[in-house]
Chains A and B, each alone.
Chain A
Amino acid sequence: MDTLLVLPILIPLATAALTLIAARALRIQRALSFAGMASLLITGVVILLHVDEHGIAVAQAGGWAAPYGITLVADRLSALLVTAAGVVGLATTVFTGFSLDRRRERASFYPLLNVLLMGVCGSFLTGDLFNLYVCFEVMLMASFVLLTLGGTRAQLEGGLKYLILNLVSSAIFLTAGGLLYRAVGTLNMADIAEQVAAYPDTGLMDTLAMLFLVAFGLKAAMFPFFFWLPASYHTPPPVVSAVFAGLLSKVGVYALLRTFTMMFTGHLAFTHTVLAVLACATMIAGVLGAVAQMEIRRILSFQIVSSIGFLILGLALMSKIALAGAVFYLLHNIVVKTNLFFLAGVIEKLRGHGDLRRLGGLWRERPVLSVLFLVSALSLAGIPPLSGFWAKLVLLRAGLEGEWYWAIGIAVVVALLTLYSMTKIWALAFWKDAPPNEFAFTGRERDVREKSARRAMLPVVALTVVTVAIGFLAGPIFEMALATAEQLLDPSQYVTAVLGGVS
């Protein structure tokens, strides 16, 4: 078991090292990265099956018993997310080969991508608060370099905002971690959960909970900490946006899920009300931002913010069905959001930009691309029978059954506005004819771009199939989500698995 849980961290690290060595041979880098991501995906599935059958899996790094060493833990949530990360990583690797300009691709793109995945998987698996911080740093550094790779003006400006705001999050995370360590004397998350529950001063724990909420909420792009996301996600090449959209902010959501279902559950009336209010504000701010934009990737970036609000709402409701809804939504959103950014990438490849005012005519010229976009866009907007619908259905049901009518009212309006902003892309980029004197690629450049756009459709088709499949297999996947939610709501499983008989 020990080796299995280390693999999602080691495989990307090793791949990163190997691709760095093969820096001059692009083909070998591609093949290595593909193989690495594929093995990551397989490892994720194996862990998932293992956890599903035998319960929570634990590995003590270096053989040091918890809570003294660093513990790696895989419950259903972690295993599901590692698998999802594998899917996104694999799709991204393929998409990179077909879409990224050579200069960037050569400039250590694959090592960085793999290090990013290492940080992501490490965050999902670690059972240690400080190690989570380290994983966040790995992610932050890798993502910052990916974001600015190429060094265009827009990238640097967005990258700076991204970095500084995320460093604030790191600083708050570290401070809060230090304070918590002082208070409860341990860094192991399972141990923390027990100690916090027994801590006498609940006011102090509420304060620490809020500090973690800020630190993770910033990572997740929650209101009012989301500014870095719309400021930066449209600036790098689309493939970078896609992997960020799929994974980065979701790690923040994961950390919030972990923290607020396991560590700080003593004062739900305060913590989870704050979460609910901020979740609704996040939805509104995100969807309004999406409505206000006129560029595809900017719209999609704000949509990420809005969907984070939906996810946090699931956490705030804190019932079994609500958490299951959040897990379902998380999986759905990872796939669909990545795919939509891929599609934006294909459009930008074909037309050179993603400005809706200057785009048009795609429905006439590219029916296949159009249908693929439509499927993902409708899925995001929660139109049945696609994956987004079931996520929406479950969350609405959780809210209505929990009698959170005001939150559900907001969620419904946001859902409608989401649909509205997606139809805007459809109407302006696909239905409308391109403006008459709009610049268009010609000759060889056009052929090259068309060819790579055609190839880049491969991962798009694959992820679209996944979206549709999630929709039709909603039953079994929701069962899995329910089991995940059960585990989350009963942290004693996690604690026992990690600490065994120690405490």
Chain B
Amino acid sequence: MVWILISLVVAALFAPLVTRLAGRSCGRVLALVPAAACAWFATRIPAVAAGERLVEPVAWAPSLGVSADLALDGLSLVFALLVTGIGALTMVYARGYIGNDPRLGRLNATLLVFMTAMLGLVLSDDLVTAFVFWELTSVSSYLLVGYDHANPKARAAALQALLITGAGGLCLLCGVILIGSVGGTYSVAELVASGDVLRESSLYLPILLLVLGGCFTKSAQLPFHFWLPGAMAAPTPVSAYLHSATMVKAGVYLLARLSPALGGTDEWLALLVSFGAATMVYSAVVAFFQTDMKRILAYTSVSALGTLVMLLGIGTADAAAAATAYLIVHALYKCALFHVAGIVDHECGTRDVDRLGRLSRAMPITCVAACLAVLSMAGLPPFLGASAKSLVGHAEHALHMGPVEWAAMLTVLMTFAVGALLVWRTFFGRRDGEDLPKHPHEAPIDLWFSPLLLGSLGLVLGFFWGPLAHHLLEPAAAAIAPGVAPELHVHATAGAYALKAALAAVGLALYVKRRPVVRALRLWSVLAWFGPERFYDRGLVAIEWVARAVTRRLQSGSLRTYLAIVLASTMVLAGYPLLKNGVPLPPSGSFDIRVHEAAIVLAMVLATVFVMATSSRLAAIAALGIVGAGMSVTFLFFGAPDLAKTQLAIETLSVLLFLFILYRLPPLRQLSTRLQVWRDVVLSITVGGFFALLVWGLTSVDGASRLSPFFAENSLALGKGHNVVNVILVDFRGIDTMGEITVLAVAALGVLGLMRVHVRERSAS
């Protein structure tokens, strides 16, 4: 199985090249890889049906507790067959649909990357590895929805899909991490084997909610469903493959996969059934109000996803088998219908059902494919859809919940109405006078091959229900709800047929009276105004607004504000522990200060105040010089003559240098408001006072350098120098001096650079 994934990646890498070289037949060439994979998976059917679980251990990151073990059981097999089988058809269809566009190479490559990701997801036993593939499907979906990248609408739709599924992905990741922490492993097989560990954990509800957050966004459950109709901005082959047949079912897959470990609780039942049922019925109704064929199909897909989630919520073996059957049926007919919609769009230039009609004569093959698909969708015998729907009906009925059954009936009814709208209206309905953008004619074989094949499969498999149930549904159900064998014998009663016929009649009546019904229910559009999509749009605008507002305040561009924030924060952070634990005040007796010391301090303070007040730069520099000189004298008093000497030299030099530079500058101006001035005064005094207090407090407690005695002792003996400071500088701590010398050299380079190198600013920047 690893080899299948690798060969898909390789195919993706070479897809642009193959597309260029193979021209017309590139789709068929590239389809060989997934087709071969599909064939391989098909050969595994008997083994898996016999109850085997094929495992390929792959080490990845054992230190993280992550492996890339691949496992194939009944559930994975169903998905793997769909992903590779429909994937192969998609490759062929995409070439026919896209034609000779230069972007086809990248589209093919992205489709193959997606295929790898989706296949990897359903084959991974490890939840983290599965998550890796999960996110890859989101990213490839982003790139594919944005295929028509010059169009702002396509970009917005791509972003919407990415953000919704990305947010869900982050939830899921947290859920997976918690599962790993609670269960002690990321391996699904081990988690399932460990029984009730997760269900009994105190973190069960958070885990469940996080996992559902991931699955519901991915599988477009209410209220996150809206990204999926939006994703119809993608080219039709992508919509058919990702947003109907495979990717959106990733959430369903993961729920099914985790159902033995997480499912079976009241919370699970309540959440999945309520969200699933609500999604199912809501989207089935909304689909009827659309006119774009792809949006109609998108909403019916959402509805189908709701059904699947609901079935998984019910969680019995029967429901699991029903879910699997419905999953297969849905993938077949929905992909076919999408492909039909693509053909119609391709050959007529529009896919608005109100403009289409009477296409059966111009496009006979497509019409046959569409009819086959829609009959399976309606669940008419002998199509496969009939058996699947019957299982679904039984599972729903077994729940004994009135609202769910009503919702299910409404959904069936709407399915008939929508099916009629999609196929009857388009192929046999009356066209309202106006001409279509293109003259309709039959599509080339690349296009009609896949819907015809998928539609026929829906019919043919209907006759092989027994083997299908035994080889695919039972093993899959065993993986979802282990222990109990599902009841797969379809026994429809006359009552059920009668009910179905009644629903069909009402549905078709609804179709016939579509215009008045739609007009009467215009209110829907008002409701949509309060819907989650608007919430998303508003949220995006709000985030941008908040981001700009916060950034404008923080990153204001004013250096003085930055300094004020930095210093004030320093005071808060460093002052808090002092206030809490008491300031290390010097003992009261130590306050003996002599007159000349006080005089110097006073001079320094006055000079500082003068610097602040004066508007003359020269006077300010001179006053700064006084502060510096006072400092040197202080050093002198306290027995550091060399320091005093150095300080004095530096002060003199900087005053002189400043003079040279500032000589020509205009006088200082007061640009601050009074409030700012007072803020700065308070802040400065606080900062200065804080550090003074800290130094004072620390110097008055005992404490001596542990280094000085060593330096004093060894300076002459080992360092061969009488001047201890010199020996420290060039020997004991020579690396420091080397660094400081480097700093000086760099400063010189900097001055040189500033004086001599001036790059003209470009007009373009």
Contacts and interface: CB of A to CB of B under 8 A. Distances in A.
Contacts of A230: 555
A76 to B, nearest CB: 15
Interface stretch (A83-91, A338-346, A431-439): A431-439
Given A214-B569, A397-B177, A474 B155 contact: no
A401 interface: yes
B181 A138 contact: no
B128 interface: yes
A143 B595 CA distance: 46
A214 B548 CA distance: 26
B420 interface: no
Given A115-B746, A475-B61, A164 B732 contact: no
Enumerate the 4 nearest inter-chain pairs by beta-carbon distance, A residue then B residue, closest first: A203-B581, A352-B764, A475-B61, A206-B577
B571 to A, nearest CB: 10
Contacts of B743: 134, 137-138, 141
21 contacts: A70-B736, A104-B759, A115-B746, A145-B750, A150-B757, A154-B761, A161-B562, A182-B699, A186-B705, A210-B577, A218-B566, A231-B562, A352-B764, A353-B765, A383-B139, A385-B136, A393-B128, A397-B177, A420-B159, A431-B155, A478-B63
A227 B565 contact: yes
Interface stretch (A252-260, A283-291, A459-467): A283-291
A399 to B, nearest CB: 9
Contacts of B559: 160-161, 164-165
A65 B64 CA distance: 41
A478 to B, nearest CB: 5
A356 to B, nearest CB: 13
Interface string B230-271: 000000000000000000000000000000000000000000
B550 A288 contact: yes
Contacts of A224: 554, 565-566, 569
Interface in B57-95: 59-64, 66
A118 interface: yes
Interface of A: 9, 13, 16, 20, 61-62, 64, 67-70, 101, 103-104, 107-108, 111-112, 115, 118-119, 122, 130-131, 134-135, 137-138, 141-142, 144-145, 148-154, 160-161, 164-165, 168, 172, 175, 179, 181-187, 191, 201-204, 206-207, 210-211, 213-214, 218, 224-225, 227-228, 230-231, 270, 274, 285, 288-293, 302, 348, 351-353, 363-364, 367, 378, 383-385, 389-390, 392-394, 396-397, 400-401, 408, 412, 415-417, 419-420, 423, 427, 430-433, 439, 474-476, 478-479, 482
Contacts of A393: 64, 128, 173, 177
B528 interface: no
A417 B749 CA distance: 41
Interface of B: 16, 59-64, 66, 106, 128, 131-132, 135-136, 139, 142, 146, 149-150, 152, 155, 158-159, 162-163, 166-167, 170-171, 173-174, 177-178, 180-181, 543-544, 546-548, 550-552, 554-555, 557, 559, 562-563, 565-567, 569-570, 573-578, 580-582, 584, 691, 694-695, 697-699, 703-707, 710-711, 731-736, 738-740, 742-743, 745-747, 749-750, 752-754, 756-759, 761-765
Given A62-B732, A118-B742, A439-B764, A225 B759 contact: no
Given A68-B711, A152-B759, A204-B698, A185 B170 contact: no
A482 B551 CA distance: 36
B544 to A, nearest CB: 6
Given A168-B567, A214-B570, 15 more contacts: A68-B732, A111-B749, A112-B746, A115-B745, A182-B699, A206-B577, A227-B554, A289-B547, A378-B139, A384-B136, A390-B64, A396-B173, A397-B181, A423-B159, A432-B149
A150 B569 contact: no
Nearest to B708: A185
Given A207-B694, A285-B550, A62 B731 contact: yes
Contacts of A289: 547, 550-551, 554-555
Contacts of B746: 112, 115, 138, 141-142, 145
Contact of A61 (B60, B128, B578, B735): B735
B710 A108 contact: no
Given A62-B734, A101-B759, A474-B60, A168 B565 contact: no
A210 B578 CA distance: 11
A288 B545 CA distance: 10
Contacts of A107: 752-753, 756-757
Contacts of A62: 731-732, 734-735
A70 B735 contact: yes
A125 to B, nearest CB: 10
Nearest to A144: B750
B63 A479 contact: yes
A182 B732 contact: no
A432 B155 contact: yes
Contact of B547 (A288, A352, A389, A423): A288
B574 A122 contact: no
Nearest to B577: A206
Nearest to B67: A475
A210 B706 contact: no
A394 B181 CA distance: 12
Contacts of A394: 64
A149 B16 CA distance: 43
Given A107-B756, A412-B170, A175 B691 contact: yes
Contact of B707 (A187, A206, A270, A353): A187
Contacts of B155: 427, 431-432
Contacts of A150: 757-759
Given A152-B761, A384-B136, A478-B61, A135 B739 contact: yes
Contacts of A433: 150
Contacts of B697: 204
A401 B763 CA distance: 54
Contacts of B577: 203-204, 206-207, 210, 270
A182 B550 CA distance: 41
A165 B150 contact: no
Contacts of B747: 141, 145
A182 B739 contact: no
A415 B711 contact: no
Contacts of B691: 175
A293 B142 CA distance: 22
Given A165-B562, A207-B578, A69 B732 contact: yes
B131 to A, nearest CB: 7
Given A185-B705, A417-B543, A130 B736 contact: yes
Nearest to B730: A62
A149 B755 CA distance: 10
Nearest to A122: B739
B733 A131 contact: yes
A201 B584 CA distance: 9
B138 to A, nearest CB: 8
B749 A112 contact: yes
